[in-house]
Amino acid sequence: MKQTGLKGGTFSSAIKATVALVIALFAVSIAHADEDLYRRLSMAARGTGDQTLIKKLNEASRKLDWKDAAETEFQGHLRLLKASAATVTGDATSIFLVRSIKGELFILAVPSKETLEKEGAASKYANLEKMLEDKLTFKIQSIKGTVDGKAYLFAHFVERPKQLALDRIFKISIVLMLFFVMLGMGLTLTMNDFKIVFQKPKGMLSGAFLQWAVMPLVGVGLGRMLGFYDAFPFVFVGMVLIAVSPGGVTSNLMTYYAKGDVALSISLTSFSTVLSLFFTPLLLTFYCANVPEVNIPVKMVVQTIIILVIVPLAVGMSIRKRWPNFATKATPFFSALGVIALLFLIVAGLLGNLDMFADTERYGFSFYTMVFILTMAGMILGAVIPKLIGINNYQTRAISLETGLRNASLAMALSLLIQDYMGDFYSSMFFTSAIFGLWMYVAGFISIAIYKKLLPVEPRPDYEFPVEDGEY
């Protein structure tokens, strides 16, 4: 009989070729040259690269002839890289960079310390560090210069950069939004909400296990499998940051709409929020310790969580204890405010950085697929694992949503606060958190529709922890 199928070797080769093609379709390309330069300078600042490079660039910038320099105007950001070595002094201490929205990177020709002191407040370069957090309009002259045989783009100001008020308002709004959302969460909580750990131990322990053990592994696995770990490390860090963030108040609202165990959802959110003070910096450091050019500012992460999460949560709980009627009436307002504010800030942030969508190397099909899979995987695993250990559908719905829906507000706030320290040249961590914040609503409503068929709700159990009227 004549053989019509492929021979073993041919078949094997075909499989390998197919796999290679699939990987190629999902793979991300190498980073831009300007980003590579930023990484190299970051290494020099941290003492892991050429520690003399910063000094050489500063000195070279003051010897250039600007007579034939090209003048241009654009929007972008001011970056500052500071040397970490205590022994470094003078021009080797720090270097200012100008980054356009399109990604071009310029070495800023800052005058010497003596010149700055002489010019005082009248200098176009006075108090540059106060501009680091803002999107600015730059009017510069640029020219190429060579240091150690390599060409660099240098720039000096034609006029002092102008701050874009809307961008500043946006960043302040994110911080305030997170603070008030966590305050609103505190208004819904009493110490009894934490006692549910002992009343429903299977539900609480399985939820905590999924949030702090399973989800981080899913985020790390997706980032590595799709090649972001090596090609675009800060996208990878953004995935990890989302995965190690606690559950958010959105899960409580979604659980209510899904007719799940709202009390369990509230308790899981509050429990994971408190645990985030320990687990978020720990896991972020653990999974990103060897990521190329990434240095996690643990102290800054802890301080941010304390100020923007733990403190407002404690204040809200104190208000509820002292003025319970006011807390009950205010809770629906804060719940709605949280959802609306999150969506508004995500949309505003994305619209203000539309240029990012053009970077298809970094933010292509594999990126959006990865972020969507992360939240859907949380929903699926959050449903499967509880069912395997005998948890009823009523509680499983809550655990599933709590696992998939993370505190995107916290992830975005952390991204904005630490991106410069970490060298996140393209604000990839923020963009990843923002896209997740949008995708999680889509995934949440998809999951709710699926629950109706696969997780039919049993009669409300007698041991259900009561939810006070007006909370949702």
- Structural domain spans, the chain: 33-163, 166-454
464 pLDDT exceeds 50?
no
Which is it for the CA torsion 398, 399, 405, 411, positive or negative?
A: positive
Mean per-residue pLDDT, 9-35: 47
Query: What is the pLDDT averaged over residues 118-133?
Result: 83
Q: Greater confidence, 153 or 1?
A: 153
Q: Tokens 């970077």 sit at which residue?
A: 359
Burial 95-115 (b: 16+ CB within 10 A, else e): bbbbbbeebbbbbbbbbeeee
DSSP reduced 3-state for 440: helix
pLDDT of residue 187: 84
Of 264, 261, 249, residue with least CA distance to 313: 249
Radius of gyration of the chain from its Cα atoms, rounded to whole angstroms: 25
Q: 350-374 as b/e, with b when 16 or more CB fall inside 10 Å?
A: bebbeebeebeebbeebbeebbbbb
pLDDT at 387: 92
Q: Which of 299, 301, 283 is nearest to 413 (CA)?
A: 301
Residues 208-218: what's their mean pLDDT? Answer: 95
**How far is the first Cα of the chain from the last one, in angstroms, to the nearest whole number?**
72
Q: 141 - beta bridge partners?
A: 71, 156
Question: Is 2 a residue whose pLDDT tops 80?
Answer: no
Which percentage of the chain shows pLDDT scores above 90?
A: 30
Helix or strand (DSSP H, E) at 48: none
Predicted confidence at residue 446, as pLDDT, reads: 92
Residue 9 has pLDDT above 70, yes or no: no
- What are phi and psi for residue 362, nearest 5 degrees? -85, -45
pLDDT band at residue 328 using 50, 70 and 90 as cut-offs: confident
Among 102-111, 227-236, 392-401, 452-461, which stretch is predicted with the lowest mean pLDDT? Answer: 452-461
Mean pLDDT of 83-97: 70
Indicate whether 369 pLDDT > 80. yes
Encode pLDDT of 260-313 as tens digits.
988 888 889 888 998 999 999 999 999 998 887 677 888 889 998 998 889 988
- Is residue 470 scored above 70 in pLDDT? no
What's the CATH code, domain 166-454?
1.20.1530.20
> Is a pLDDT exceeding 90 seen at residue 212?
yes
Q: In 200-323, which residue ranges form alpha helices assigned H by DSSP?
A: 201-209, 215-225, 228-231, 233-243, 249-257, 262-288, 298-305, 311-322
**Is the per-residue pLDDT at 30 higher than 70?**
no
Do the strands 105-108 and 150-163 form a parallel or antiparallel pair, or are they unpaired?
Answer: parallel
Residue 394, number of CB atoms within 10 A of its CB: 21
- For residues 216 and 243, the answer to whether their CB atoms sit within 8 Å is yes
- Tell how many helices (H) and how many strands (E) occur in the chain: 19, 5
Mean pLDDT computed over 214-238: 93
When comparing pLDDT for 198 and 431, which is higher? 431
pLDDT at 27: 35
Evaluate whether 258 touches 451 at the Cβ level (below 8 Å): yes
As a whole number of angstroms, the distance between CA 409 and CA 299 comes to 19
pLDDT at 243: 96
Given a cut of 80, is residue 259 above it in pLDDT?
yes
pLDDT of residue 6: 44
pLDDT at 462 over 60: no
- The model's pLDDT over 421-434, given as tens digits with 9 standing for 90+, comes to 777 877 889 889 98
* pTM for the predicted model, two decimal places: 0.74
